[in-house]
Amino acid sequence: MKEINKRDTSILLATLDRDIDMKCMELKEKQRQIRLKNIFFLSCIFILLSFLMQIFFKLFNVNFIAVIIVYQTLASILFIPFIPNLSKGVVLK
Domain boundaries defined on the chain: 6-85
The predicted structure's pLDDT at residue 28: 92
Q: Taking a C-beta distance cutoff of 8 angstroms, is the pair 82, 36 a contact?
A: yes
Q: Can you give the pLDDT at residue 87?
A: 55
pLDDT at 18: 84
Listing DSSP states for 12-71 in one string gives HHHHHHHHHHHHHHHHHHHHHHHHHHHHHHHHHHHHHHHHHHHHHTT---HHHHHHHHHH
Give the pLDDT confidence score for residue 92 in this predicted structure: 47
User: Tell me, what DSSP letter sits at residue 1?
Assistant: -
Q: What is the mean pLDDT of each run of 10 residues along the chain (93 residues)?
A: 74 84 90 84 82 77 76 77 58 47
Provide the 3-class DSSP secondary structure of residue 78: helix
CA of 38: how far to CAs of 11, 25, 28, 29, 35, in Å? 41, 20, 15, 14, 5
- The residue among 33, 45, 47, 43 whose CA lies nearest residue 83 is 33
What is the reported pLDDT for 68? Answer: 76
What count of residues does the chain have?
93
